[in-house]
Amino acid sequence: MNFLVTGGAGFIGSHLCERLLAEGHTVWTLDDLNPFYDVALKQRNLCDIQALAKPFTFVHGELNDPECLQELFGDVQFDQIIHLAARAGVRPSLQEPALYQRVNVEGTVNLLEAARKHGVKKITIASSSSVYGVNAKVPFTETDPIFSAISPYAASKLACEALGHVYHHVYGMDVAMLRFFTVYGPRQRPDLAIHKFAQLIERGKPIPVFGDGKTARDYTYVTDTLDGIIACTRKEFGFEIFNLGESQTVELDYLISLIEKALGKKAIIDRQPAQPGDVPITFADISKACKVLGYNPQIKIEQGIPKFIEWFRKGYSPKT
């Protein structure tokens, strides 16, 4: 099949392109290579994909560029779209809320419109556990009320979910919304906690720890997330939302101890106040994904952190 992966030069997207190519598909990726983090890392990801010598095409462009989308969809008849491109991150979204609205929401509706006009009926869209906000009930289930977003990033993902439902309801498109829970692994963005902590600990510098270290996240290894995405491409749903997490919570202090152990170095802790927009816990109920998709995450945090550090130690981390 012909797949379009938006954001395919990034962390999850680059792994997904490789997985699709390994399964014999033809893959195009659209990515703007924005400087949210070191563009050289994204270019390295693209080089890794291109080195596979598989049917892969990179398109440098933006979802908010109508001419780019028109040319891309005019040249290729896509069978499916997997939409991962977005401005990411809770804290940065507090600084540039309009940017997050423009890229995440307007970009998504532009993509949906292009798909509709060119007869692409199936699209899988990345959402986020951030949509649950400060949820008093754990674990989080797809049917929980989600009217308490506490960051512009979370609000933008809520809007994308609503748009996905609209395009299913009005135009009959098959739409799966995937709520990712703190994905990590090789190629993880350097601004995310595991990668950032590893860099600072390795260099003997303090790591910023916001709050009391008891905040908990449902860390999900990238290969498990990929399994869930690929499962979505093999079925038709109408419109469905799925949690893709590990369904276990890891407190920040314990996460740091695992990174210390894998690196063989102690962290210097710089305690700071809790940050606006951060939620105290994320915890996925994955029973729906397990039942409908056959989702079955395999990599626990105690296995995943050493895997990440092995990649990190090979020199893939930016030196700053």
Residue extents of the structural domains in the chain: 2-184+221-247+283-298
Token pair of 164 as six digits: 């996905």
What would the two tokens of residue 138 be? 């754990």
First to last CA, the chain: 41
Q: Say whether pLDDT at 317 is over 50.
A: no
What integer pLDDT is reported at residue 115 of this predicted model? 98
pLDDT tier for residue 135 given thresholds of 50, 70 and 90: confident
CA angle 217, 158, 72 (to 5 degrees): 105
Q: How far apart are CA 46 and CA 315, in angstroms?
A: 17
Q: For 236-263, what is the mean pLDDT?
A: 96
Predicted local confidence at residue 147, as pLDDT? 79
Structure token pair of residue 294? 């056959």
**In degrees rounded to 5, what are phi and psi of residue 245?**
-135, -175
DSSP state of 273: P
pLDDT beyond 60 at 319: no
Token pair, residue 246, equals: 């590990």
Cα–Cα distance, 256 to 266 (Å, whole number): 9
- pLDDT of 316: 55
Phi first, then psi, for residue 136 (nearest 5°) are -70, -20
153 is catalytic: yes
* Rounded Cα–Cα distance for residues 249 and 129 (Å): 13
Model pTM? Answer: 0.94
Residue 27: pLDDT band with limits 50, 70, 90: very high
Tell me the CA distances in angstroms from 115 to 18, 79, 80, 110, 239, one per residue in order. 23, 10, 9, 9, 16
Distance of CA 125 to the CA centre of its chain: 10
Return the pLDDT at 279. 80
Euclidean distance between CA atoms 282 and 17, whole angstroms: 27
Residue 97 has pLDDT above 80, yes or no: yes
Distances (CA, A) of 308 to 58, 165, 258: 26, 36, 11
**Cα–chain-centroid distance for residue 236?**
22
Which architecture characterizes domain 2-184+221-247+283-298 according to CATH? 3-Layer(aba) Sandwich (3.40)
In the chain, the amino acid numbered 217 is R
Q: Where would I find the beta strands (DSSP E) of 137-225? A: 174-180, 183-184, 206-210, 216-217, 220-221
More confident residue, 136 or 204: 204
Q: Which of 37, 100, 153, 184 does the annotation list as catalytic? A: 153
Residue 175 to residue 47: CA distance in whole angstroms: 30
List phi, psi (to 5°) of 123. -140, 135
